[in-house]
Structure 1
């Protein structure tokens, strides 16, 4: 699907780890096939321990910045603090991003696993 710059991956995992015990969320962007930039986003879900919701204002700002900097939004990344890196029923039901890849980073059992999913 695409490659991720090491610095982007390191920064994203650090951000998501800092959000624990809650789910974290971020946007990956770059060129077609290569993730060169990440944007951390706030999780504004009512139950951030089991779900994520992107702050609408931050979402618009992230997409506007991508456009202004000629980056392509490529993936919405979120974490699962205690569950595997597979989409939950809620993840699937609330997926409103047909052009993006879903990336889930799992910290279950103190480990680190990440997987890409096409949700469209």
Structure 2
């Protein structure tokens, strides 16, 4: 991946935001997460696949369910697409990488999309050492 921009189809963006709003409306509010699918070379997201958040403290952290994540990535690849990255929400804070997000990032070269229930989104590539912000283009 070489582009400093992420393209996301409107339906995929709507799916991520709808999922984030459901998490924010739960009691207590919870972060939601999932897999972004599309074309990793073009850094284009065509679909978002929700994954259960199995974190101990889902109000302030996320952990993708490992079995669901592997199953979704296999299905995405079987359909001829790529796992472009992952998304999660910050139901009560700005959509920027937190210290916890930095500590737990483990997929260099993949996109990490963070959103707020109010519709704000940021995208970042994990370099292995830090997050590099990407511009977002909604297609």
> Is TM-score (shorter-chain normalized) higher than 0.5?
yes
Deviations 1:41-78 (A, max 9, x none): 11000000000001010011011012101111112110
Gaps of 5+ in 1: none
Whether 2:126 is the aligned partner of 1:119: answer yes
Q: Using CA pairs below 8 Å that are at least 6 residues apart, which structure has the higher relative contact order?
A: 2
Which one is further off, 63-72 or 48-57? 63-72
Matched, 1:29 2:33: no
Cα deviations by residue, 1:28-53 (Å, 9 ceiling, x for unpaired):
11123321111101100000000000
SS in structure 2 at match of 1:118: strand
- What is aligned with 1:89? 99
Q: When the two structures are aligned, how many residues end up with a matched partner? A: 117
Structure-2 residue corresponding to 1:4 = 8
TM-score using structure 2 length: 0.79
| Structure 1 CA distance for aligned equivalents of residues 35 and 71 of structure 2 | 11
Aligned to 1:44: 54
Shift of 1:3: 1.2
State TM-score, norm by structure 1.
0.91
2:73 match:
63
Aligned Cα RMSD in Å?
1.2
In the alignment, structure 2 segments of 5+ residues that lack a partner are 128-139
**Equivalent-residue separation in structure 1 for 2:83 and 2:114 (angstroms):** 16
2:86 is aligned to 76
Q: Distance in 1 between matches of 2:50 and 2:9?
A: 16
